Structure 1
């Protein structure tokens, strides 16, 4: 009976993959999306669609017509900025410079070959999912570091690389809100929650701390790691089937003396690099600390991309020099150039995606959609758990169209935080519910900025991978994470456990 149910699930995912892959190439699709935004903006503008902006009382938001004279002027004058300002572009390219040296010098492949002899196979998936969840400490760097490394690691073990990519992507993106430590997301969302709560109860808002969801998110790390491991091993990898392109076990066990010496040198270089970076961060006088010595939202968090570049580059250089894969500065330049040459398809895709995202934001269509969704929930008249679940469904739906967690919360918090407070639920609970809905749907929307780069990584192993393939692969994670996380929140709600330090479930004046 269980096998039959699994067969139905597998057939459903196959159908989703087939339908999705009938869509045009992602580059073409983003150009089509951009064109549709232009046409729809003209229609909605002519229809006079407008909403009141809850962030600015009395301000009316209308749809900007991109077929108007001003709109056409905007499309022509902003095209370059839309491309260069596309958020993942610089992050990906700069990070790949360092990863490219570590990869082409042979460091990464040698590390993997050594790793597979020391890490128990049964713990690999859990380790990868856990690392993905924890990578939110490095903002968005996990997308461009862990997802390709997950694929390479699985391939080295003879497992399907797309399963490794999926496990890492699930941890990085669907588990984005969970962490054992506070991340930059906590003060980012927390400040908006405080501001929204102040409109209903100024005194209570002053008691809210930015770590309001900390306890809940700590427990979430371990729960999601278990769920992600199960989904990878029992659903995703069996569906993908066998993979024949990995490094064989006999090859893995053979590390040459110079490779072992190179690994030792790279390890020492990594430790020295970390020590030097620590001098910039740990002491109170550290130049990468915040103005009052704070770490969260400090220059360190704002400079994680060059930090990652350095942490890959230095050990990669040392390894290459020791193994004589790098003998002159020309070798370094060539290896970096070769890495950038492989990113050509992504750069083209970034241009198309950048235009679409910019057009969608410029027309106000995303904001209006979010506000309409908020109004819908308010009109249902739901209370209690049904209200919270409805709120999460709408927040997740909106996330399919607007990728930025802070942008959505800036729109939704002024509506839902006071509304929930009026019904007896704390701002801390409302924010936790939002974070769950926002995270779990990241991995199934092509409009998430890093969705494109994940497809590019996947196509290194299977040229036929398209939007449908990735969505079908990630959908089990999205569903499983959503169900388990919602159950966790309901249990938290029923037991009345604090979500964080001094952060109750229920609101009382």
Structure 2
């Protein structure tokens, strides 16, 4: 809709963020610029002889091994860059993990499963608990990626309007859940696969712990608790702050000249209900198969030799090491789960008529990953340059020593990291791009301070989600604005950002408090994923 509301300027800090962010290049180009800067820094550090004592490795003289900075313009590193270019890209762990999961998720989305599941979950929500139901389903809908924005957010507006409440308040609650609660969920999903793939690269690059195993479920308990921390926050902000402010704001019947996306209906057809039932059976079947492979005859997903009971009793290994194959299998497990459920649903409603339709949906899912492939290429080489220069580990060692020397309490240091990721999120929207920038230093630094790689990942994701909903640079921001303008044609960019600020503030505060409490209590972040960490002897 071409009106003045679309061109509304935002003042203050958000206006500055918008103007500054719009001047920034694409994240792919940012990686290129930072790579060039890193090359220059590596030359300078190598020239000055910057070093650090390795915390675990011993040199030939019996003293701690010395980690020396390496110039990325040395003949060896120049040759490595060009000779290993294909290997650097193809062996970038997040790339394979994400592509495998998206093979299944593409089918689940294009068959209509995700959209139907959201509509079914919200369709019969009682008025008294409509807000928390919207918030909870919106956070769960994170797994549906694009479908969560296209279906869940306008559907929430329709539901609020249907029970006599302000529809823009429903849009706000759903936007807060889908985007502000981006890192909260009841189950791990694609985001966990993506972030832990980058964490794994950071751990490998640090050479601090060759035995650490990537565990996709390493933040499961944390994101589950975060979901139910954010739930009352969104409920309170929506009902006590946002909706009262909208009380004197009139709204239309939801029809506008800018109608570009058809409103989703809350009514399910007979075929859709049957499809959801079959999808549920497919989900149970996949879970059952994985349980059989884990606990059944032969236990192929359990490595009994990894930690014999005798060694475990002596404290020489942890029982969780036996579960390493299971943790690694979850990437393939998610792919099969999404694929099976999407296929079952599609076959019932007619969106999947034969195997050709199935393959076509998988192919379309891969097409959507085109930009990610380009971003992964840039990120893979940036992370590799960090590793070859040794600067990631050196900065981590000196950073950890500086924090210890300053006497700064660990929870405060972790809170500062949350704020760093929240601030960076205002300018760089991609979760994977930001984590690829930060992980090479933050992950080993926190390992040296006694925080596990799973803990570092959890800390980062709290800040990454909370400010999604207040930056105009967020890719879905214009779409949410259009949804709001259907009910109020004068609703502009400033209106949307101002409406979402209370959510962002309270989600950031409660997320920070959860991080501090988790460190204090020292409970596991997920199955086999403690927050406390000790370097191997």
Q: Using the TM superposition, give the Cα deviation of residue 224 of structure 1 relative to its aligned residue in structure 2, in angstroms.
A: 5.1
1:345 aligns with 2:374: no
1:76 aligns with 2:88: no
Q: Distance in 2 between matches of 1:291 and 1:369?
A: 38
Corresponding pairs, count: 414
Q: Distance in 2 between matches of 1:342 and 1:377?
A: 42
Q: Using the TM superposition, give the Cα deviation of residue 62 of structure 1 relative to its aligned residue in structure 2, in angstroms.
A: 2.0
After superposition, give the CA deviation of every residue in 1:391-433 in whole Å (9 maximum; x if it has no partner). 435766898887687985655555x45xxxxxxxxx9xx9999
After superposition, give the CA deviation of every residue in 1:464-493 in whole Å (9 maximum; x if it has no partner). x9xxx9xx999747742454236647xx96
Q: Using the TM superposition, give the Cα deviation of residue 98 of structure 1 relative to its aligned residue in structure 2, in angstroms.
A: 0.9
SS of the equivalent of 2:52 reads strand
CA gap of 1:327–1:128, structure 2 versus 1, over 3 A, is: closer
Q: Distance in 1 between matches of 2:328 and 2:477?
A: 28
1:267 aligns with 2:280: yes
SS of the equivalent of 1:64 reads coil
1:98 aligns with 2:96: no
- Would you say the 8 A contact 1:30–1:356 is kept in 2? yes
Counterpart residue number, 1:154: 153
- Give the one of 173, 180, 183 matched to 1:167: 180
Counterpart residue number, 1:484: 513
Counterpart residue number, 1:136: none
CA gap of 1:390–1:312, structure 2 versus 1, over 3 A, is: closer
- Give the one of 378, 381, 385 matched to 1:359: 385
Q: Using the TM superposition, give the Cα deviation of residue 289 of structure 1 relative to its aligned residue in structure 2, in angstroms.
A: 3.0
- Would you say the 8 A contact 1:27–1:349 is kept in 2? yes
Counterpart residue number, 1:32: 33
Counterpart residue number, 2:394: 368
1:315 aligns with 2:341: yes
Counterpart residue number, 2:4: none
- Give the one of 251, 258, 268 matched to 1:255: 268
Structure 2 matches for 1:96-495, cutoff 5 A? 96-119=102-125, 121-124=130-133, 126-128=135-137, 131=140, 145=143, 147-148=145-146, 150-151=148-149, 152-158=151-157, 159=171, 163-171=176-184, 222-223=228-229, 225-227=231-233, 248=263, 251-283=264-296, 285-291=298-304, 297-380=323-406, 382=407, 387-392=409-414, 411-414=445-448, 416=449, 437-443=459-465, 476=505, 479-481=508-510, 483-485=512-514, 488=517
Range with greater deviation from structure 2 (269-278 or 29-38) = 269-278
CA gap of 1:402–1:445, structure 2 versus 1, over 3 A, is: farther
SS of the equivalent of 1:56 reads strand
Q: Distance in 2 between matches of 1:445 and 1:80?
A: 35
CA gap of 1:107–1:353, structure 2 versus 1, over 3 A, is: same
- Give the one of 55, 66, 69 matched to 1:60: 66
Q: Distance in 1 between matches of 2:349 and 2:140?
A: 29
Q: Distance in 1 between matches of 2:145 and 2:332?
A: 19
- Would you say the 8 A contact 1:157–1:246 is kept in 2? no
Q: Using the TM superposition, give the Cα deviation of residue 117 of structure 1 relative to its aligned residue in structure 2, in angstroms.
A: 0.2
Q: Using the TM superposition, give the Cα deviation of residue 81 of structure 1 relative to its aligned residue in structure 2, in angstroms.
A: 2.0
- Would you say the 8 A contact 1:171–1:228 is kept in 2? no
SS of the equivalent of 1:55 reads strand
Q: Distance in 2 between matches of 1:482 and 1:253?
A: 32
Q: Using the TM superposition, give the Cα deviation of residue 114 of structure 1 relative to its aligned residue in structure 2, in angstroms.
A: 2.1
Q: Distance in 1 between matches of 2:391 and 2:242?
A: 35
Counterpart residue number, 2:43: 42
TM-score, length of structure 1 as denominator length:
0.65
Q: Distance in 1 between matches of 2:221 and 2:94?
A: 30
CA gap of 1:125–1:16, structure 2 versus 1, over 3 A, is: farther
After superposition, give the CA deviation of every residue in 1:262-283 in whole Å (9 maximum; x if it has no partner). 2233233333333333322343
Q: Using the TM superposition, give the Cα deviation of residue 442 of structure 1 relative to its aligned residue in structure 2, in angstroms.
A: 5.0
* Structure 1 residue ranges without an equivalent (≥5): 1-8, 133-141, 189-195, 197-212, 418-426, 447-453
Q: Using the TM superposition, give the Cα deviation of residue 307 of structure 1 relative to its aligned residue in structure 2, in angstroms.
A: 0.8
1:18 aligns with 2:19: yes
Q: Using the TM superposition, give the Cα deviation of residue 66 of structure 1 relative to its aligned residue in structure 2, in angstroms.
A: 1.0
CA gap of 1:479–1:128, structure 2 versus 1, over 3 A, is: same
SS of the equivalent of 1:157 reads helix
Q: Distance in 2 between matches of 1:88 and 1:431?
A: 15
- Would you say the 8 A contact 2:119–2:265 is kept in 1? yes
Q: Distance in 2 between matches of 1:215 and 1:109?
A: 26
- Would you say the 8 A contact 1:392–1:433 is kept in 2? no
- Would you say the 8 A contact 2:415–2:512 is kept in 1? no
- Would you say the 8 A contact 2:293–2:299 is kept in 1? yes
Counterpart residue number, 2:488: none
Counterpart residue number, 1:449: none
CA gap of 1:351–1:301, structure 2 versus 1, over 3 A, is: same
SS of the equivalent of 2:183 reads helix
Q: Distance in 2 between matches of 1:285 and 1:276?
A: 13
CA gap of 1:264–1:70, structure 2 versus 1, over 3 A, is: same
Q: Using the TM superposition, give the Cα deviation of residue 59 of structure 1 relative to its aligned residue in structure 2, in angstroms.
A: 1.6
- Would you say the 8 A contact 1:265–1:319 is kept in 2? yes
